[in-house]
Structure 1
């Protein structure tokens, strides 16, 4: 595993991607200024991309609850090892269990994000679950997730077609494990002690506040965009189903009309059949009578 202590960029990236999503850009830019004496390092820091919301949620899960992530990755490894020896029924059962596990862990990840003040839409949750599924299906995806340096969500089919280019902050991330960072405990103030306040003016306070406000606005717009996208998709689905319902209702009405017409025709045919059967019976009687007369005439002729 790469050692972040021997790679200052990895160490910096590990700290940056552990920050709240809104703090990433101002913190990164501040680090660029801090390391401006090392032009190569400053350039590399500036190139670190902000994670998507889904990637940030997965990174948060990796740092807040590494044991649960390790469990997901261990189950994925076991499934990959056993896949060749499983029959179809066992594969279906393991696939079901895998989906249940990723859904459960996704719920836990959304809860962690909510505790950090980040609301996740269903679209983001789907991307988080897809990323966890990819980590179970593909060894490289597992390494990417464990790094805690994801910048985009992952998607894999288990057929070795995963493309990780641009999915992690650094190529060195694969094989690196993010440092666990439990949530900071909430301090309970001691009412018997009066805190000593020291006001230190920050010359960049206004700029930082504007940057933070811009970041929150951008995130709110992103959430709104996702919500509007989901709403449009749901509306289109409703419209399609309503149109299909009207079409089926029309076809059903037509079929009912045809059935009514067929039932009326059937009644007419039944009546005609009854009359035809009666006429056939009369004709049969007439034939029998005619045959009897023919036989009687033949007998009379023969007797002459």
Structure 2
């Protein structure tokens, strides 16, 4: 079942982006006799624009992709060997190559009627860079079954479970497809074939877009909750600290008043001490005078 599903996924992810959902649903219906396979087909997630562009590049221009992956393998080997000179050269080559291949990918996508924005182009380049830095990311790119862009730093283990359509994608290689260019003088034969299930497919595609939008909204809301909770905690902490500061200021003011009062009491005590010492001195002098007077009487 896994082999059949990979082959079907290879076909689906090589289609123009708008055709993915109706084609997937039609194939799921076609294989409804095999419930497990039909469920697997139905569970295939539509690729983001950036992932679709990379998948398109893998199928349409495999030589450029292999060049990227080859430089990436050499880059990882140089990093493992701690070859600084080669690492610098390959890093420079990596940047030039990913930029050039991204430009080529945008041109290929434009040929399919898809305009690639700067934001999407950055995600495409990040995915190609990731494929250079990480061996598993390279396998994911080579599979042509990406559903979301990849961001790797080259440090630590990379979780690709959400980036590829199927777990078996990392051992799979996409089927390359060349673009057939008609002869300039050839007269195309146009046939208009009505699709009896066009309305149903359109509704299914619309439902899929609604589900994807709902999922994106839920993910955005979930991502927003953590900063909001952090902000609330920090605001509460700020109020607590401000209250503690106010309390400390009150205590400082009280201590300053007590200090002033103590200083006054010290001054008064010093004055009383000086007066007492002066009285003692006077009493000692009086005693001495009395003793001398008494002594004179004895003579």
Normalized against structure 2, the TM-score is what? 0.64
Q: Deviations over 1:140-189 (max 9, x none)?
A: 00000000000000011111332112110000000210010111323546
- The answer for the alignment partner of 1:244 in structure 2 is none
Pairing 1:28-47 to 2, within 5 Å after superposition: 28-47=24-43
Could you say what secondary structure the match of 1:174 adopts? Answer: helix
After the TM superposition, which of the residue ranges 154-163 and 103-112 deviates more from structure 2? 154-163
The partner residue of 2:74 within 65, 75, 78 is 78
What CA distance in whole angstroms lies between the structure 2 residues aligned with 1:122 and 1:103?
12
2:96 pairs with 1:100: yes
Q: 2: distance between equivalents of 1:100 and 1:165?
A: 29
Cα offsets for 1:69-114 (capped at 9, x unmatched)? 0111011101111224455454333212211110000000010000
Instruction: State the distance in 2 between where 1:124 and 1:197 align.
Output: 34
d(CA) in 1 for partners of 2:148 and 2:209? 19
TM-score (norm 1): 0.63
Unaligned 5+ segments in structure 2 are 213-299
Distance 1:214 1:196 in 2: 34
Residues matched between the structures, number: 212
Match of 2:163 among 141, 164, 167: 167
Maintained 8 Å contact 1:138/1:160: no
CA contact (8 A) 1:56 1:150 kept: yes
Q: Residues 185 and 208 (structure 1 numbering): CA distance in 2 closer, same or farther, change over 3 Å? A: farther
Q: Does 1:151 align with 2:140?
A: no
* Unmatched runs of 5 consecutive residues or more in structure 1: 220-304
CA contact (8 A) 2:78 2:87 kept: no
Q: Give yes or no for contact 1:57–1:113 (8 Å, CA) kept in 2.
A: yes
Secondary structure at 2:171 match in 1: coil
**Aligned in 2, Cα 1:198/1:137: closer, same or farther, shift over 3 Å?**
closer
Go from structure 1 to structure 2 and tell me whether the alpha carbon gap of 1:101 and 1:14 turns closer, same or farther (over 3 Å shift). Answer: same
Tell me if the contact between 2:71 and 2:90 (Cα under 8 Å) persists in the aligned partners: no
Moved more, 36-45 or 176-185: 176-185
Q: C-alpha displacement at 1:206, in angstroms?
A: 3.8
The CA distance in 2 between the partners of 1:119 and 1:201, in whole Å, is 28
Say if 1:144 and 1:168, in contact at 8 Å, map to a contact too. yes
Q: 1:29 to 1:187 in 2, by over 3 A?
A: farther
Q: In the aligned structure 2, how far is the partner of 1:196 from the partner of 1:140?
A: 45
**1:109 matched to which residue of 2?**
105
